């Protein structure tokens, strides 16, 4: 039932919902956050013209951005109506290095075709995320990498998630880094890193605030460290580590 909910989701949203999806990220109040996320992902990807697998793409706006950068992109989604919107986005962008397919990312049948795979805000909709990550692992060439950016602990209890579950029959899961890393190890990935996700630009100075100089220096230091890797290992030390429980960027290396 959950997979059927994902397939029917965009149709059930109606014309307004489809228009919103077609025009993302600009149509969404979270547009600024989307661009910050994509900037982080671009900075972590190998340089084009690498082959990139974009998983759970919805209306395909992320795939369009990757293709415009010069990657050879295949975008996948389980919903035919979403892929129809994605193909409209491809035609609007006039891109020849972008293809889309309708499939279930939990049953991918690709072997060593891609340099990188992306789950952007999509893996938490999986019924079986282990199968999805295993499929991504098999689709990657030796030395390839998989980047995930997913909601952390507590996501499934948020009102917007509960509404989607009950109104549309979709899957909404917590998908924190510690869980992704554990599933990635089971899939065969041998190394992982976690980078901080920035939801808004860190404040460095506000003339209306009276801050001592040492406080300003600490803020500046935080700004610098925010761009760096925040966790780097194969085994997470604790599932309760805030870094590994929050919505952060995970890279899994094959």
> pTM of the full predicted structure?
0.89
- The fold of 2-253 is Rossmann fold (3.40.50)
Count Cα atoms within 13 angstroms, Cβ side, for 247.
20
Q: Name which of 173, 180, 166, 169 is nearest 136 in CA terms.
A: 180
pLDDT confidence of residue 202: 82
- What is the per-residue pLDDT across 105-143, written as a single tens digit (0 to 9) for each? 999 999 999 999 999 999 999 999 999 999 999 999 999
Domain ranges of the chain: 2-253
pLDDT digits (tens, 9 = 90+) for 72-114: 999 999 999 999 999 999 999 999 999 999 999 999 999 999 9
* 14 vs 199: CA distance, rounded Å: 29
Which residues, in sequence order, are CB contacts of 85 under 8 Å at separation 6+?
10, 18, 21, 22, 58, 59, 60
Name which of 14, 28, 37 is nearest 151 in CA terms: 37
pLDDT value, residue 233: 45
Burial of 201: CB neighbours in 10 Å, binned 0-12, 13-18, 19+ = exposed
Which parts of the chain have pLDDT scores under 70?
1, 210-240
């Amino acid at each position: 039932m959950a997979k059927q909910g994902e397939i029917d989701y965009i149709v059930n949203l109606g014309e307004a919902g489809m228009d919103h999806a077609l025009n993302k990220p600009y149509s969404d109040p979270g547009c600024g956050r989307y661009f910050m996320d994509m900037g982080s992902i671009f900075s972590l990807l190998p340089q084009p013209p690498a082959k990139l697998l974009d998983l759970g793409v919805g209306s395909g706006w992320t795939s369009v951005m990757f293709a415009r950068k010069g990657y050879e992109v295949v975008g996948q989604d389980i919903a035919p109506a979403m892929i129809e919107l994605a193909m409209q986005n491809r035609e609007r962008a006039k891109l020849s290095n972008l293809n889309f397919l309708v499939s279930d990312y939990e049953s991918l049948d690709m072997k060593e075709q891609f340099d990188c795979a992306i789950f952007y805000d999509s893996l938490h909709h999986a019924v079986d995320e282990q199968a999805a990550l295993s499929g991504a692992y098999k689709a990657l060439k030796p030395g390839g990498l998989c980047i995930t950016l997913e909601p952390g602990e507590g996501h499934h209890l948020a009102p917007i998630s509960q509404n989607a579950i009950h109104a549309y029959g979709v899957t909404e899961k917590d998908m924190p880094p510690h869980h992704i890393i554990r599933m990635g190890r089971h899939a065969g990935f041998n190394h992982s890193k976690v980078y901080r996700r920035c939801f808004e630009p860190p404040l460095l100075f506000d003339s209306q605030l009276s801050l001592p100089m040492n406080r300003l220096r600490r803020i500046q230091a935080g700004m610098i460290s925010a761009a760096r890797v925040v966790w780097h290992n194969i085994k997470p030390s604790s599932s309760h580590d805030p870094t590994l429980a929050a919505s952060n960027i995970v890279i899994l290396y094959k």
